Amino acid sequence: MHETEMRSNVLRLVFGGSEELFAAFRGAIEAVLPPDAAAVIRGSSVTGRRHSDDAPFDADGPGTSDVDLTLVGSTVLDWFTEEGFYIPAVHSKPLSDEHPDIAPALVPLRQRLSTLVARPVHIQATRDFAMFVKEVLLGQPYLTIVGKIETETA
């Protein structure tokens, strides 16, 4: 998918076409994100279809599809507890109703973002190279909304 198509999907599906709401969402993230990190949106918010069954975004009714937000960079991984990882120090579980206590410092951000878009927002953290693997090797597109993803060296 091209970035313009992904951005169009996110703007329409998550923000109801409102650039102002999109800017407020990004601003809330920028307020807490370290300068060496980035934020991306993945999943059906970007593609318009659920990965598991190809159903359209919000197929179960308005506000039923979540927003998959991933914070990218090594420093954001420190915000997650030891139990909060699929791959320790590389890729976290999502901060969500299923895992509400794995990133206490991010709970207020999650609540703010969920309120802004009137739907659940799940927040994960991962290293830069894991985003490369997801996009290039697994074919899972994402839209960078804050910062820039760079390949880690070392």
**How far apart, in whole angstroms, are the C-alpha atoms of residue 43 and residue 41?**
7
Burial class (CB in 10 A: 0-12, 13-18, 19+), 49: middle
Give the pLDDT confidence score for residue 71 in this predicted structure: 97
Whole-prediction pTM: 0.91
Mean pLDDT (the chain, rounded): 91
**How far apart, in whole angstroms, are the C-alpha atoms of residue 95 and residue 69?**
10
Place 151 in a pLDDT band, splitting at 50, 70 and 90. Answer: low
pLDDT in tens, 31-62: 999 999 999 999 999 999 988 899 999 999 99
Give the pLDDT confidence score for residue 152 in this predicted structure: 46
Give the pLDDT confidence score for residue 133 in this predicted structure: 60
**How far apart, in whole angstroms, are the C-alpha atoms of residue 151 and residue 126?**
12
Q: What is the DSSP string of 94-152?
A: PBSSSSTTS-GGGHHHHHHHHHHHTS-EEEEEE-HHHHHIIIIIT---EEEEES-----
Place 106 in a pLDDT band, splitting at 50, 70 and 90. Answer: very high
